[in-house]
Chains A and B, each alone.
Chain A
């Protein structure tokens, strides 16, 4: 039964890490633009390797 003395703190710690990560994400604005991130992956980077015409 003593195992719960270890397991409960471990569970709380893991949950706490999750909570902290969520609050950090919220604070750093990751929920501000939920749709944008999904679309942005389709945009070509400006610093992408130079594609000269005809090679594509």
Chain B
């Protein structure tokens, strides 16, 4: 039945013998974390027929599977994993950024290895020179150093030279400009010294600089890769194919790109809707939470319009396509989000801001040194040597490590708490936040209904309700079933069960008709239904007796109120924006203690609210999960999303948190603030170092030995300072909060 869906793949391999028809798929499995997970995943995949190999990569939280498309389908692989309790999604192979990132990381590591090799060996030779090698030996050692260092500089320096050249051609200055200049000049001058039999060669300095700086780059890259593999590339949201009903009534699975307006498409229960359309046939409940933020599924029937990205819960629907691809509501929201994110690209990172001040200062200092020496001694050779020594000693080695080292430690800490940081810039932005905007459904709440109240009922009645609820696929019924099971109610076995999609369940019990479903269907009087209470209702009707009501509400995350209270104590303004109905929003806002709230807002409204506040100088953290939050997440200064958020939202957010605790939001802000403090300390240290080192270099005392010691020492100090974050409590200023929290160990 699945073969048509994979016709494009199987078509070209059909002629080959069987072994050739194997495809490789990468599945992203965010919840894999231990040896048990690895073996369960690999075993369940290998048990499937048609799977040749399956290998889990724990660091990347991915599984690479080789499978035969003629025997099985990727959907079956995913279903097998879901049966084991792992959410899996195929990684979009087409996403070139993923492969590009991996290649870049490998390049950096290779460059680091080469620089490390060269630095070690050149340093060995340099020590001999410093300990007093005589002229001929010294020249020989210099020549050997040159042979090692020059190719290493050319190879390992490429990441910096490329970036510096790019910046210069765009008339900007970044940290790579002084780095490249120092490395190239040091190598060139040392070569000149070697050729002319001079006394000082700085080969060790130039390769050591590269080594330290590349370490910083590798750390930075590692951090981004760790988070990215779990977050990006998950573009499974858009359904890639749909079942088209042809004129003869046959069903053809068709790629989404070939579907046009006017076609009729079948959406089975449980599937995500692939296109916008109008329902022609069938009744069902529609989960619109991703689009609108409404937690309660909506009953739909013929004539109702339906959007791509929503989930059809209970009954099969036939829809007539009205829009497809780029015209759908889904695509519109995505383009809104992309437009919003472009604004954020203008953010200048701390290191670059420092570079803008630092680079010109260094170059001016070197120039002044050169001119001063020329005027004083009249010897251009000595003047140039001294000026280059200034450049080498001020090369922002410590600065290059100052930021990435802190960010790697901070993001490692957050990773341990279940927060994935996509890049260092998100951390920097998080530290600047002064206002937090929450979404309701799925963010402050769990996004799942919970039984909160019910009319008085006998345990026999409850047993009947449980019996019916267990057989339904509707989320409200699931919630009732869970709640009743938790109370120890044994479900009764029902007969002649019929599910009426969009209405409820009907069955026979002891000769009378029993129903569990919507209030209208169970003939609850208009007056009763009109009492607008937040939450949704499910009714049980036994024969002709009046219906009994179960009231269900979207439950709050356990620590939502506490997390909001912590944020307020930090002096952050908190706001709740939701697409849900106003009474429901008001109630949640009151429960968690947020004063400012707005309901029934469209995605554009949320983004506009955030933009208008940011224009007045506020830095907003947006926490949201739904597709309707994606534009707001993209607009906000920085954004966080729970890991069960929809894919596009996860991609838009700068940070993604796992688990059900909202406490991670204030924790992450505290860690980011601590990281910012350490970065500033590191900058201050780098400045102090320069205040001491530059005068030494300017007066011409910066011999290669002094340069080597100064550079290594400053790099070590900066790295050690960054490591302090690992052992510190979350932040000194949050000590009181931790006591309130009550979770911290005595």
Contacts and interface: CB of A to CB of B under 8 A. Distances in A.
A42 B40 CA distance: 13
Interface in A36-52: 36, 39-44
B361 interface: no
Contacts of B148: 12
Given A8-B144, A11-B121, A36 B56 contact: yes
Nearest to A8: B144
Query: How large, as a class, is the contact surface on chain B?
Result: 20 to 34
B104 interface: no
Interface in A1-24: 1, 4, 8, 11-12, 15-16, 18-19, 22-23
A13 to B, nearest CB: 10
A42 B35 CA distance: 6
Contact of A26 (B38, B56, B58, B113): B113
B97 interface: no
B34 interface: yes
Contacts of A15: 117, 120-121
B114 interface: yes
A43 B59 contact: no
A33 B58 contact: yes
B592 interface: no
B106 interface: yes
Given A22-B113, A26-B110, A33-B58, A39 B144 contact: no
A46 to B, nearest CB: 9
A52 to B, nearest CB: 20
B35 A40 contact: yes
A21 B641 CA distance: 41
A24 B35 CA distance: 27
Contacts of A22: 113
Nearest to A14: B121
A32 B114 contact: no
A53 interface: no
Contacts of A12: 121, 148
B57 interface: yes
Given A36-B57, A43-B35, 14 more contacts: A15-B117, A15-B120, A23-B113, A26-B106, A26-B109, A32-B57, A33-B57, A33-B59, A33-B60, A34-B59, A35-B58, A35-B59, A39-B38, A40-B38
A35 B144 CA distance: 40
Nearest to A42: B35
B125 interface: yes
Contacts of A34: 59
Given A11-B121, A32-B60, A35-B58, A23 B137 contact: no
Contacts of A43: 35, 38-39
Interface in B84-111: 106, 109-110
A18 B60 contact: no
Nearest to A32: B57
A42 B38 CA distance: 10
B34 A39 contact: yes
A7 to B, nearest CB: 9
Interface of A: 1, 4, 8, 11-12, 15-16, 18-19, 22-23, 26, 31-36, 39-44
Interface in B704-726: none
Contacts of A11: 121, 124
A16 B117 contact: yes
A19 B113 contact: yes
A26 B106 CA distance: 7
19 contacts: A1-B137, A4-B137, A8-B144, A11-B124, A19-B114, A19-B117, A22-B113, A23-B110, A23-B113, A26-B109, A31-B109, A32-B57, A33-B58, A35-B59, A36-B56, A41-B35, A42-B35, A43-B39, A44-B39
B106 to A, nearest CB: 6
Nearest to B222: A34
Contacts of A42: 35
A18 B124 CA distance: 16
A42 B109 CA distance: 29
A42 B39 CA distance: 10
A16 B121 CA distance: 10
A39 B128 CA distance: 45
Nearest to B137: A1
Contacts of B60: 32-33
A31 to B, nearest CB: 7
A16 to B, nearest CB: 7
Nearest to A46: B43
A42 B611 CA distance: 51
A23 B117 CA distance: 11
B34 A36 contact: no
A8 B145 CA distance: 11
Nearest to B58: A36
Interface in B49-98: 56-60
Contacts of B109: 26, 31
Contacts of B35: 39-43
Nearest to A36: B58
A22 B218 CA distance: 15
Nearest to A19: B117
Contacts of B114: 19
Contacts of A40: 35, 38
A36 B34 CA distance: 8
Contacts of B34: 39
Interface in B108-164: 109-110, 113-114, 116-117, 120-121, 124-125, 128, 137, 144, 148
Contacts of B58: 33, 35-36, 39
Contact of A18 (B38, B57, B117, B137): B117
A40 B38 CA distance: 8
Interface in B490-528: none
A36 B37 CA distance: 11
A32 B116 CA distance: 21
A28 to B, nearest CB: 12
